[in-house]
Amino acid sequence: MNLLIILLIPLLTAMALLFANSLKQIRFIALMGSVAQLIFSFVLFYFYRTEKNNGNTALFSFEQNYTWYAPLNINFHIGVDGISIAMILLTSFVVLAGVLVSWKEERLSKDFFFLLLFLSLGTYGFFISLDLFTLFFFLELAVIPKFLLIGIWGSGKKEYSAMKLALMLMAGSALVFVGLLGIYFNTNINGLHSFDLIQIANTQLPLAVQKLFFPFAFIGFGIFTALFPFHTWVPDGHSSAPTAASMFLAGISMKLGGYGCLRVATYLMPDAAQSYSTIIIVLAIIAIIYGAFATMMQTDLKYINAYSSISHCGFVLLGIGILTKTAINGAVLQMVSHGLMTALFFAVIGMIYDRTHSRQLSQLSGLLKVMPFISTAFVIAGLCSLGLPGFSGFVAEMTVFVGAWEKPDLFYRMVTIIACASIVVTAVYILRATGTAIMGPINNNDHLKLSDAAWYERLAAIVLITAIIAIGISPFWLTDLIGQSTDSIVNKLLNK
């Protein structure tokens, strides 16, 4: 099993796109490339499972290590564990759906799909990196295309949003980089500083170093995953982005942050994670409940989903902050679940917007009558968002709740109760949006002529819904996949 394939697929697809000379070819290549990604991530999943079932207990599988820049001991080191595979699966689902919903993108379509695939390249690279420098390299690779995607194909105040998003994410990256350098210069492995994740994990950084650099890494990555109060790029960025970019942004990019918080900040600096745990939890809880209430007041469908993403990503941070195995499992589950669900939401909102040219709740009503498929997908996304059993959201949220509840002191109890309460607020805003836009009588007679989803849109929604329901009905395969890997993180936390 060669992991480089997962980087080669998007790279080759992107290159092939440059030679395409008709819209038809562009679409075909992009679609084939994303289907290949999906197939490959399942192959990877299968091989990983086989390897684990054969009793391989190594933390990371399919490792490859090449020297990149010897003087600074920078290596191109890649490998995967259960968490990365979960993230890779998520990415490939979202990429496929994103390509499908952009089927009708005719303006500069070559550049558009090129950037989409480039973004997925950065994302895959990020998730498989075992070298902090490589990881940072791919993180940056995943930021730039977003700026262009919003700036060129966006809508509304797109320049402002693109700039805001790029600047805030860049600031996040800068913080991350400081954190990484801090780690680097405080390691000494065979007389050399090291960026190597596994090597660093096997040593123990001094507590003072951890305490100094943990905030940099955590806040830096936290900005990506809408850590309060650095979340304000989320609503503007999402709402100005074209549909596929919104899906990528919320579905994948925000997960880069969660993954980084877990894999870099918490895993490499466990003692600092313990001592900052309370602060993380408080910030996460604020994001959860405050995001939920802010969502309740939004009137634009994209803003609704963007704010609800802030609230839902709070669960990721909460799970990480609680630092128990169950909670961390929950955080990973929530990343996957939220990625799929929010991608579905944005895809559906995009479909509605393409037809009605409005995202305002006040201008939408009774869409179920004219576009039953789109409306059903919307309702499914909503039900997943409010944590209905049978969908992935329930599994993730309950795991976080049970994990948070495991700590028997009043602070954690209150935190859990507040987090649980947020799902009631979620129900309120989801039903508010559904009740207004999807149900009810049609107020605008122009809407009567609108068509339901086209085949590519249906396919996009079905791909995501299948994944959501598969996790919701049989969560055990996903928990089995990530369980072993979260064990290693938790063991690191407990090894004092």
Instruction: Output the CA–CA distances (angstroms, integers) from residue 53 to 43, 47, 50, 56, 482, in the order listed.
Output: 15, 10, 5, 7, 14
Rounded to whole angstroms, the Cα distance separating 320 from 195 reads 23
Which are the contacts of 12, defined by CB distance < 8 A and separation ≥ 6? 33
Which pair of tokens denotes residue 139? 């993180």
Which pair of tokens denotes residue 52? 């684990």
Of 302-331, binders to other proteins (CB under 8 A) are 307, 325-326, 329
Of 127-166, binders to other proteins (CB under 8 A) are 164
Residue 23 makes contact with other proteins by CB under 8 A: no
Residue 294 makes contact with other proteins by CB under 8 A: yes
Of 222-241, binders to other proteins (CB under 8 A) are 228-229, 231-233
Residue 424 makes contact with other proteins by CB under 8 A: yes
Residue 470 makes contact with other proteins by CB under 8 A: no
Nearer to other proteins, 69 or 476 (CB): 476
Shortest distance in whole angstroms from residue 435 CB to other proteins: 5
Question: Applying CB under 8 A, which part among 39-47, 99-107, 341-349, 436-444 lies near other proteins?
Answer: 436-444
Residue 399 makes contact with other proteins by CB under 8 A: yes
Pairing of strands 61-69, 74-80: antiparallel
Shortest distance in whole angstroms from residue 419 CB to other proteins: 11
Shortest distance in whole angstroms from residue 434 CB to other proteins: 8
Residue 206 makes contact with other proteins by CB under 8 A: no
**Count of residues interacting with other proteins (CB under 8 A):** 55
Nearer to other proteins, 122 or 366 (CB): 366
DSSP3 helix / strand / coil % (the chain, rounded to 5):
80, 5, 20
Supply angle C-alpha 49, 52, 57, rounded to 5: 150
226 residue type, one letter: A
Interface with other proteins (CB under 8 A), residue from 58, 297, 414, 448:
297
Instruction: Output the CA–CA distances (angstroms, integers) from residue 135 to 139, 257, 411, in the order listed.
Output: 6, 12, 35
Question: Applying CB under 8 A, which part among 146-154, 211-219, 250-258, 422-430 lies near other proteins?
Answer: 422-430
Beta-bridge mates of residue 65 = 77
Residue 432 makes contact with other proteins by CB under 8 A: yes
Residue 479 makes contact with other proteins by CB under 8 A: yes
Shortest distance in whole angstroms from residue 42 CB to other proteins: 22
With 0-12 / 13-18 / 19 or more C-beta atoms within 10 angstroms meaning exposed / middle / buried, residue 496 is exposed
Q: What is the DSSP secondary-structure string of 440-482?
A: S----GGGGG-----HHHHHHHHHHHHHHHHHHH-THHHHHHH
Given the rule CB under 8 A, which residues bind other proteins?
164, 167-168, 228-229, 231-233, 290, 293-294, 296-298, 307, 325-326, 329, 366, 368-369, 383, 386, 388-390, 394-395, 398-399, 401-403, 405-406, 408, 416-417, 420-421, 423-424, 427-428, 431-432, 435, 438-442, 475-476, 479
